[in-house]
Structure 1
Amino acid sequence: MKRPDLALILATALTQTLGWGTLFTPFALVVQPMEADLGWSRALLNGAFTLGLLVAGALAIPVGRHVDREGGKLPLVGGPLLGAAGLVMWSTATHPAVFYLAWVVIGCAHATALWTPAMAVVVALAREPMRAITLITFLTGFTGTIFIPLNAALVGALGWRDALLVLAALECVAAAVAWWQFSAAPARVATPLPGGGLRAALRRPAFWGLALCFAGHAFIGTAMGAHLVPLLRELDLPEASVILLAALHGPFQVAARIGLFLLGTRASTQVVGVISTWLLPLGLLWLALAPAEFTALLPFVLFWAMADGLLTIVRSAGTAEILGREGYGAVTGALTLVSVGPRVAAPILVALIWEAQGGYGAVPWLLAAIGVLAALAFLYAVMSKEAAS
């Protein structure tokens, strides 16, 4: 791999690892200490997190347009500083209004510092974008492995308020790394051509195929993230088996990305996308039909994790391959915006199904059906692209 790509990859992987580890991971670990300290309800606390996701989604297109026109320096340097400010504000919260305002700021940081603008820069500057994105996702795949125990240790040792201040300092490190990354890189990413970019993409069937696919994947991902552990516990598995099955998602995901990286240019993003989108409903159907035993459920985790790991790459590199690089930031911002609603609604909808039916029995079937629709939508996007070329 060429040296400029390596510097871009390492800097992006570090800023993304720090960003996700400080701006996304801590919430689940701070909720219960905040409940005990402030007496606030879990619904009130989760409302702020939801607000942050909505703010991030609303800003996705304007931030993407800025990256297309002016480059990624401002969002990728300023975003972590916004995140640090939001974490400091969160650490001082004694009233819900301050807490919610902190999450508005953190939502702005999500939109400017995390993934979509960073991938727009990689797609524009990397000599081999797919390999670069694959390696970045491999490195960032260890974010939870690093930051879940780190955040838990910080909260346990310092309390949740001081723990958030430490995380704010780490976000300042991310800003410094981003500043270094752009110090010798072009400030501008691309110059949009008249009539191109987002407006042209919105008129293409392939865009809407990708939008439906990624929205379905977002729904499944957040539903599983919120409900996997209680779903497995409902099967009366031993607690050690439940935790191990959930924990294996990360290593299996990284293994799939390593395999894709080793294939290099021999792997077409579109073919990888078709395979991974069908692996997702296959894994969910396996969950619905398999006996409630650890070994019988391993293929479910394997298929789900492989699909999840590969689709993260397809969402970035595949969009460029199918829709082109012109206006990439705004186009991927629009795809992110389409996924916000499903991402926010999924945990609530699955919880309502659980309450109505007294269990999770119907949930794997529902998610598998959504997975099939997402796979068909991706296939439609690929076929529409080929028909147009």
Structure 2
Amino acid sequence: MIARRVVVALGLGQLVSWGVTYYLIGGFGEQIAADLGWSRDVVYGGFAASLLVMGLSSPLVGRLVDRRGGRDVMVAGAVVNAAGCAGLALSHHVEAYVGSWIVLGLGMRMTLYDAAFAALARIGGAGARRAMSEITLPGGLAATVFWPLGHILSEQFGWRAALLAYAGFAVLTVPLYLTIPGRRYAGRPRADAAGPRRPLAASRQQVVLAGGLYAVIATGANFLNAGMSAHMIAVLAGLGLSASVAVWIATLRGVGQSAARLCEVLFGRRIDPVELNLLACLIIPVSFIAGLLSGSSREMAIAFALLYGACNGILTITRGTLPLVLFDHRSYGTLVGRLIVPSFVLPAAAPLIYAVVIDRLGNAGALYLSAGIAIVTLAAAFLLRVLYPRSGPEAEPGPRVVCAERAGKNKTQGA
């Protein structure tokens, strides 16, 4: 069982780490572009470079967590995050700016959810599902806390001083990550622990198939998250809302995330992660339809922020819990580290793609693009649900293994 203090510390660490890294560009991107006279392509291109680094470093970081544990990796990542924020604050040239984002890319991969999920799987085994859900509760409020906080700091002291403060916040996460135990899970899961006794993807062929569908879902969700994190405020403002209203409505995304995650913590153990994943993917396209109507209706803008936030919050959890039921938890960090490479590499282009779409097709075009990606993600989630329909403790392995077992049984009876 994972100690409560570890879960609380990791949750607080996620709140700060997400706020000072991933959501940084959404709060300061426009200010940096205006102050330095750089184009959006350059400013958001730095963030895109960080996502690319996250993908390229993902297999290595996953192996490190499996071998050395989450404590060493995440503590080092917190220091790297601080260095990246400080570098951005001191940047006056494009080279230094992009270089600082590259540093942040490595730090993000070492400290954000995927590293935390791997750390929990290492110390909690297949029973880490609840802890994974719980650490996302405060993490879901990162934008809600740090977008307004960054706005206040930049108004009072300027964006450079605000980013230096962000570097200080990153350092404060070091004691939080030091609470992670260095041990590896070695016992059997509790009788009431969520997840199957055997992975649903038992054979190599099943692992490849399930892993491919998982990668499509993670990539689609991350692409949308990257695009919305960078442009959600600008899109809402471009559709007709005032700048101040767009900011506070965009922060409701975090409220939606945490509310949905709280429901998952309270009731999620009764729901199969595969089915929960499908439910979230079903609602995402609806959220973007609401977004298209937000220019003429503030209520629809609120619905867009809350619905998208809720779906994104659930998909963040299932990105961590699906591998627990699909694959062998003992190789969680290494396997997932490989599978999520596309979910960082391809979304690295999302901020730039959204910027181009907005410039050429308008803010509504960005929401149409989002709806299309959401539909592709939904299709992958549906296939995963059809092929791997059960993941309770009594679940049987995937369909091919079940058929093989039955064939063997019939052959014995015939003899």
Q: What TM-score does the superposition give when structure 1 sets the normalisation length?
A: 0.85
Residue 372 (1) aligns with residue 375 (2): yes
Percent identical: 27
Q: CA RMSD in A?
A: 3.0
Greater alpha carbon shift after TM alignment, 347-356 vs 249-258: 347-356
User: How many aligned positions are there?
Assistant: 376
Greater alpha carbon shift after TM alignment, 239-248 vs 261-270: 239-248
CA-CA distance at 1:275 after TM superposition: 0.8
Structure 1 Cα separation of the partners of residues 293 and 10 of structure 2? 40
The one-letter amino acid paired with 1:387 is: P
Q: Which residue of the partner structure matches residue 176 of structure 2? A: 177
CA-CA distance at 1:35 after TM superposition: 4.5
Residue 135 (1) aligns with residue 134 (2): yes
1:171-220 deviation digits (Å, cap 9, x = unpaired):
222112212x13xx234468xxxxxx9x9589520110111112122222
Structure 2 Cα separation of the partners of residues 80 and 230 of structure 1? 29
Structure 2 Cα separation of the partners of residues 290 and 92 of structure 1? 38
Name segments (4+ residues, structure 1) moved above 6 Å.
Answer: none
CA-CA distance at 1:41 after TM superposition: 4.0
SS of 2:182 mapped into structure 1: coil
Structure 1 Cα separation of the partners of residues 18 and 252 of structure 2? 20
Q: Which residue of the partner structure matches residue 399 of structure 2? A: 387
Preserved CA contact (<8 Å) 1:121 1:189: no
Which ranges in structure 1 are unaligned for 5 or more consecutive residues? 191-196
Inter-CA distance 78–271: structure 2 relative to 1 (3 Å threshold): same
Structure 2 Cα separation of the partners of residues 204 and 309 of structure 1? 26
Q: What TM-score does the superposition give when structure 2 sets the normalisation length?
A: 0.80
Residue 77 (1) aligns with residue 75 (2): yes
Q: Which residue of the partner structure matches residue 250 of structure 1? A: 254
Q: Which residue of the partner structure matches residue 152 of structure 1? A: 151
Q: Which residue of the partner structure matches residue 105 of structure 2? A: 107
1:92-133 deviation digits (Å, cap 9, x = unpaired):
333333333222222221121222111101123237422212
Q: Which residue of the partner structure matches residue 57 of structure 1? A: 55
Structure 2 Cα separation of the partners of residues 327 and 64 of structure 1? 9
Inter-CA distance 173–108: structure 2 relative to 1 (3 Å threshold): same
1:302-346 deviation digits (Å, cap 9, x = unpaired):
432321111111111122212231321122222331112432223
Residue 261 (1) aligns with residue 265 (2): yes
Match of 2:319 among 268, 293, 315: 315
Preserved CA contact (<8 Å) 1:8 1:126: no
Q: Which residue of the partner structure matches residue 193 of structure 1? A: none
Inter-CA distance 43–189: structure 2 relative to 1 (3 Å threshold): farther
SS of 2:3 mapped into structure 1: helix
Structure 1 Cα separation of the partners of residues 106 and 281 of structure 2? 30
Match of 1:211 among 210, 215, 218: 215
Structure 2 Cα separation of the partners of residues 33 and 235 of structure 1? 20
Residue 88 (1) aligns with residue 86 (2): yes
CA-CA distance at 1:290 after TM superposition: 8.3
Which ranges in structure 2 are unaligned for 5 or more consecutive residues? 187-200, 389-397, 402-415
CA-CA distance at 1:33 after TM superposition: 4.9
Structure 2 Cα separation of the partners of residues 361 and 84 of structure 1? 36
The one-letter amino acid paired with 1:176 is: P
